[in-house]
Amino acid sequence: DAPCADFSSVQIARFFAAEAQRFRAAHPRCAALHAQAQRHFLFGVPMHWMADTPAPFPLFVDAAQGARLVDADGHEIIDFCLGDTGAMFGHSPAPIARTLAEFGAQGATTMLPSAVALEVAALLEERFGLPMWQFTATASDANRFLLRWARAITGRPRILVFHGCYHGTVDDCFVDLAEGGATRMRASLLGQVHDLTPTTRVVEFNDSAALEAALAPGDVACVLTEPVLTNVGMVLPEPGFLQTLRTLTRRHGTLLAFDETHTLSCGPGGYARAFGLGACRTLGVDSENAPQRGQFLPDSPPHSGTMGQEDGKKWAAAAHSQPMIPKSDRLLEPDMLVLGKPIAGGTPGAAYGFSAEVGARMQAAKAAAAPGHSGIGTTLSAGLLTLRLMRTMLAEVMDEPAYARMFATATRVAEGLQAQIAARALPWSVTRIGARCEVQFRPTPPCNASEARAAFRDDLEAALQLALLNRGVLLTPFHNMVLACPAHTAQDADTLVAAFADALDGLAGA
Ligand code: PMP
């Protein structure tokens, strides 16, 4: 067993075995449900990846409210996973429960427009700056349709994504960077028989030179990216990288699409509004203060208070003047934008927005096409009930005070985790962006997905996650991500940090 800067694989395995035993002993009913479920479900779960848990069997959930889950064995758990963002504003916020009670008997879906759709679009424009919108059932669909439109209106076959991206079940995006800069299919993809590599280019995030080279031939319809990569650990943009991305895409006639499904955790208008130069000016904050890689050196706090409670208050002030940001200042303004997960209160619902110019080109493309199936849209999209839930979320739930609470909790968690790491001199780092933070097993935040992936330690991650679950705290499976919702309290943050410290002590003693 090679010596390791933190914990040896033998220690991790011993600790994991003890925690797995503890989990089994505490969850007899979950175990029984999982055994019964084998008859009906793949891997004993209604969606196969629910079985990808570090626990010996999945936690079956009876109820969820605010920041709490109750499992089938009656344990109350503080939920920092929040359905991997679908419940980012807490489980069943009161206005959502009220909307369901009020409108649940007035129709869910009609395949016809409604006045409430106009209200939702106005609320979206006010926050995100883009005037035109379409709705889908999931963020995956929104990304898929957006790419189809982008190809249709530019007449260009290729798209570009960054290594380590995840945009939902969008086939075009399941590629990785191979040796020598080539694109290869993602090895884990099941059942895909078409070669995606001729039509998707992939480069490393934060690599402006590779980006420029990939856009230079002028055949890329669209760059689709999260403003911060959040699905390969967390990778922050280097100072100026997103501005370069905007400049280069404009120069080469390529559309820029931001997938803000996760970075909606950065503020009421997502990352682009929180950290675009225009937004920073409006808030009286220097854009240099936007959390970017390089600022979070190990011995400075890993977030420099850049999105603490004070910023939430500034947002509150800024958001009340209309328009929030002068148009000329929107230097990070994308051509297209995707929102999903929490925006319909945790029920299926997503949206994509675009500029009026892009909208005009879409209309022209559709008008010029043969009548019939466009390949864009599904029957359950833009339903009456979904739009009512979105209106409630935008008008009553996703507000500045909610963000201020989320940032305060996430800051407390990130500082607490960092302190525990520092106290043990572990070579790990914590990165926070708004309400979201991530522990990564390397001393500095990664610059790109290759660096982030090189720091993956599946055994260590599983041991920590399971230990936290045994101590009443759920993190997002697949990575060490903590997401704060408005219902979390300072005490919840402290419980998480104490559980983390206890787990580290357990590992050290194993
Ligand atoms: N975009 C991003 C950035 C995501 O992280 C995800 C899901 N993790 C999606 C899109 C897809 O969302 P959904 O699974 O709800 O379609």
Q: Is the CB of 139 under 6 A from ligand 1?
A: yes
CB-count burial class (<10 Å; 0-12, 13-18, 19+) for 230: buried
Q: Is the CB of 267 under 6 A from ligand 1?
A: no
- Distance, CA 424 to ligand 1 centroid (Å)? 35
Q: Report the C-alpha gap between 83 and 19 in whole angstroms.
A: 23
Q: What is the pTM of this model?
A: 0.91
CB 273, CB 279: distance < 8 Å: yes
Q: Report the C-alpha gap between 9 and 29 in whole angstroms.
A: 31
Spatial CB neighbours of 277, under 8 Å, sequence gap ≥ 6: 243, 287, 329, 331, 332
Nearest atom within ligand 1 for CA of residue 341: 15
Q: Report the C-alpha gap between 247 and 255 in whole angstroms.
A: 11
Q: Is the CB of 260 under 6 A from ligand 1?
A: no
CB 436, CB 271: distance < 8 Å: no
Of all residues in the chain, the percent with pLDDT exceeding 90 is 85
**Minimal-distance CA residue to ligand 1 atom 8:** 168
Q: Is the CB of 431 under 6 A from ligand 1?
A: no
pLDDT of residue 478: 77
Q: Is the CB of 84 under 6 A from ligand 1?
A: yes
Nearest atom within ligand 1 for CA of residue 260: 3
Q: Is the CB of 476 under 6 A from ligand 1?
A: no
* Residue in 52, 262, 338, 436 to alter for ligand 1 test, most ligand atoms within 8 A of Cβ: 262
- Distance, CA 509 to ligand 1 centroid (Å)? 38
CB 472, CB 76: distance < 8 Å: yes
How far is the CA of 488 from the CAs of 91, 255, 301, 469, in angstroms?
11, 38, 22, 17
**Minimal-distance CA residue to ligand 1 atom 7:** 168
Within 10 A of 387 (CB to CB), how many other CB atoms are there? 24
How far is the CA of 340 from the CAs of 111, 223, 344, 390, 481, in angstroms?
20, 18, 8, 10, 18
In order of their start, the domains of the chain are 110-276+330-368+385-398 (3.40.640.10)
- Distance, CA 10 to ligand 1 centroid (Å)? 35
β-partners of residue 255 are 222
- Distance, CA 139 to ligand 1 centroid (Å)? 5
Q: Is the CB of 226 under 6 A from ligand 1?
A: yes
pLDDT of residue 378: 97
**Minimal-distance CA residue to ligand 1 atom 14:** 168
Scan for tokens 């035109």, then name that residue: 132
- Distance, CA 261 to ligand 1 centroid (Å)? 6
CB 223, CB 257: distance < 8 Å: yes
Pairing of strands 132-136, 350-354: antiparallel
How far is the CA of 228 from the CAs of 58, 130, 233, 432, in angstroms?
30, 20, 10, 11
- Number of helices (H), then strands (E), in the chain: 16, 16
Dihedral, 83, 86, 91, 93 alpha carbons, nearest 10: 170
Express each pLDDT in 395-423 by its tens digit.
999 999 999 999 999 999 999 999 999 99
Q: Is the CB of 438 under 6 A from ligand 1?
A: no
Helix (H, G, I), strand (E, B) or coil at 100: helix
Cis peptide before 323 (omega within 30 of 0): yes
CB 385, CB 103: distance < 8 Å: yes
Q: Is the CB of 487 under 6 A from ligand 1?
A: no
Express each pLDDT in 319-368 by its tens digit.
333 333 344 344 678 999 999 999 999 999 999 999 999 999 999 999 99
Per-residue model confidence as pLDDT tens for the chain (510 residues): 444 589 999 999 999 999 999 999 999 999 999 999 999 999 999 999 999 999 999 999 999 999 999 999 999 999 999 999 999 999 999 999 999 999 999 999 999 999 999 999 999 999 999 999 999 999 999 999 999 999 999 999 999 999 999 999 999 999 999 988 899 999 999 999 999 999 999 999 999 999 999 999 999 999 999 999 999 999 999 999 999 999 999 999 999 999 999 999 999 999 998 887 444 333 333 344 455 554 332 222 223 333 333 333 333 333 333 333 344 344 678 999 999 999 999 999 999 999 999 999 999 999 999 999 999 999 999 999 999 999 999 999 999 999 999 999 999 999 999 999 999 999 999 999 999 999 999 999 999 999 999 999 999 999 999 999 999 999 998 778 999 999 999 999 999 999 999 999 999 999
Reported as half-sphere exposure (CB side, CA atoms, 13 A), residue 132 has a value of 14
- Distance, CA 18 to ligand 1 centroid (Å)? 34
- Distance, CA 392 to ligand 1 centroid (Å)? 21
- Distance, CA 44 to ligand 1 centroid (Å)? 23
Nearest atom within ligand 1 for CA of residue 84: 8
Nearest atom within ligand 1 for CA of residue 226: 3
pLDDT of residue 459: 96
